[in-house]
Amino acid sequence: MGLLVRMRPRVPSHALPRQTRSLFGLFQRRSPAPPKASTPAPVLAPDDLFHKLSESPIPSMRARGERIRSLAPCPVSMAKYGERRLVNFECPDCGWPTHYSEKEWREDTEHARYVPRLREANEDEHDLRSGRVMSEFQLPREQPHEATVNLSGWDQYFYTRHFPSIEAERSKRHVSKLLTFPMTIVALRQTLHPELGARAQLDPVRIFVVGARAEATLPPDVWNQISYMFPKVPIHVYLIGPEAVVLPRNVPSPWNHPMYKERAVPYPFSSRSIAVSENLTLTAIQTTYETVHSYFEPFDPYTDVFFAFAPGFGFPSVIAVEEQARLRAEEREDERRMQAARDTYFARHAPMDDMVESSFRPTEVAKNPVGGDVPSDEPAPAVVAMRPQTAFTSLQAAPVVQAQREWAQSIGQILSTRCPLFVSGFSPADVERDVLAFESVDGVSGEFDWLLTPGENVFASQQWAIADFDPRIAVKANWGLWAVRGKRYDILGPQWA
């Protein structure tokens, strides 16, 4: 034992760590901890969400009320008195401007049918802007590999995906409005799960959202829910449309988060591309689809898919209406010039120098009579698209629709890829209108196969969206869904064993 003690090396005292304590600091007060960032108090309490728009404490809600007053006509004034007067009176039961005055409001026997959804929308809009902590927007992230998510509907999805604080119906409506676009894609592409132990594929699944509008405004982390559902699948989402928002890098936005990596884009249009996560890339391109179709070739029906959320196939073509208006203006200008030329040629009412006035008048060319060898005057073309219509619910009301003009080339290109095209609508009438318009496009009828017949979407938004031009119109985003694919032809024919 003594030998072991003698062999132990001695450590010099100056090398030992010393603990020192200041005598003067013993009685000093400790510096207070830095104050925590205080959460601002909510503007509205949970039991004080209903307000008339003009009396709302939220400035944006008051501004929306003014916008409705400048756009929406009173339904009673139009139907009963034949006079178009804008709404000015706010219904005390729903809080929206609905009639010209209290007199018309009391005369309206149909208004009670719209009150429940209008009041619900009023409270939902105020709740979103109340300033409270929106705990329901704390979306879950990665999930265990052994977890199974039920995609039968919103309730089953929230429960099996372990969403926090989805207890109230209002919270459910808020989250469904936020997630309706990515979850509609997830529910239709649930076969993307690779087999257990399979090698990860190198080619990404490309999801083309054509005609993107509201979809392009979603934060990238919302789109990342697709990647969480398919953690081993590389996914590239393209948001393409003339109304797609492409924010610059110096503007504060969710797209400019430092955790996202910027990627180069080869398109000669306003565009941006970011890597949201290891397996998800978002690309926004501000142009129509037909101008960038060639950049994505070749296509693979097994990994490429198209989505068009409420594209408005059946709505009147803006291009056609503008062309009709321009043609009418040109015809009026041509008629004015021809009349001026006739007056000059026949010198109508022109004074004659050095000549005695007489009652003689040159012979005037009358309008061509009906019949004979000379063609008669043709009637003015009827501009059907310019006729005022209260609603466009069928092709008879709008012969020239967006599917035939704005979307015609894009539809042909998409069908030529033989990739699935999923189309959504915000109401039963909108779905029917789009299907009729889609089938009316030249070269489309008989050249596609049905993948999904029109029906209700289980992941539609549960929140009512009120139209500013008519508060009676309330829709739900992605209410209906249908899908087609370019027809495939069997070249070899049936193979007999």
289 and 410 share one domain: yes
- Tell me if 328 is assigned to some domain: no
Cα–Cα nearest to 91, from 129, 45, 50: 50
102 and 166 share one domain: no
Beta bridge partners of 274: 262, 282
Question: What contacts 324, CB < 8 A, 6 or more positions away?
Answer: 383, 385, 386
CA-CA distance, 118 to 465, in Å (whole number)? 9
Structure tokens at 106: 């009391």
- Tell me if 114 is assigned to some domain: yes
- Tell me if 140 is assigned to some domain: no
CA-CA distance, 350 to 344, in Å (whole number)? 9
The torsion angles phi and psi of 449, rounded to 5 degrees, stand at -110, 145
- DSSP reduced 3-state for 295: helix
91 and 176 share one domain: no
Instruction: Give ∠ CA 112-118-121 in degrees, rounded to 5.
Output: 160
Q: Cα 492 to chain center, whole Å?
A: 42
Largest distance between two CA atoms of the chain: 156
CB 123 within 8 Å of CB 50: yes
- Tell me if 283 is assigned to some domain: yes
- Tell me if 362 is assigned to some domain: no
- Total number of domains in the chain: 2
pLDDT recorded at residue 490 = 66
Q: What is the dihedral of CA 172, 176, 177, 183, to 10 degrees?
A: 170
CB 289 within 8 Å of CB 410: yes
CB 93 within 8 Å of CB 49: no
Place of tokens 């915000």: 426
Say which amino acid occupies 146.
E
Question: What contacts 373, CB < 8 A, 6 or more positions away?
Answer: none
167 and 95 share one domain: no
177 and 228 share one domain: yes
110 and 232 share one domain: no
pLDDT recorded at residue 82 = 87
108 and 183 share one domain: no
Query: What is the number of residues in the chain?
Result: 497
Cα–Cα nearest to 233, from 280, 181, 283: 280
Tens of pLDDT, residue by residue, the chain (497 residues): 444 444 444 545 555 555 554 444 444 555 555 555 566 788 888 889 999 999 999 999 999 999 999 999 999 998 888 899 999 999 999 999 999 999 999 999 999 999 999 999 999 999 999 998 888 899 999 888 888 889 999 999 999 998 887 888 999 999 999 999 999 999 987 655 555 556 656 688 999 999 999 999 999 999 999 999 988 889 999 999 999 989 888 888 888 888 999 999 999 999 999 999 999 999 999 999 999 999 999 999 989 999 999 999 988 887 777 777 777 888 888 888 887 777 777 665 555 555 555 454 444 444 444 444 433 333 343 333 333 344 444 444 446 888 888 899 999 999 999 999 999 999 999 999 999 999 988 888 888 999 999 999 999 999 999 999 999 999 999 999 999 999 877 666 555 55
CA-CA distance, 314 to 291, in Å (whole number)? 22
Report the first-to-last Cα separation within the chain, whole angstroms. Answer: 92
- Tell me if 15 is assigned to some domain: no
Structure tokens at 62: 């008051």
108 and 159 share one domain: no
- Tell me if 141 is assigned to some domain: no
The torsion angles phi and psi of 223, rounded to 5 degrees, stand at -65, -25
- Tell me if 427 is assigned to some domain: yes
Long-range contacts (CB closer than 8 Å, 24 or more residues apart) made by 327-330: 328/383, 328/386
Check residue 104 and give left, alpha or beta (phi > 0: left; psi -120 to 50: alpha).
Answer: alpha
pTM of the entire predicted model: 0.76
Question: Tell me, what CATH number does 478's domain have?
Answer: 3.40.50
Q: In terms of residue numbers, what domain contains 410?
A: 154-192+203-315+404-486
159 and 123 share one domain: no
The torsion angles phi and psi of 239, rounded to 5 degrees, stand at -105, 105
Place of tokens 């039961």: 93
Cα–Cα nearest to 178, from 158, 150, 160, 198: 158
305 and 211 share one domain: yes
Q: How far is CA 87 from CA 22, 68, 109, 250, 388, in A?
A: 77, 8, 17, 41, 20
User: Which DSSP state fits 270?
Assistant: S
DSSP string for 340-401: HHHHHHHTTT---TTS---S--PPP-PPPPSSSSSPPPPPPPP-GGGS--S---STTT-SSB
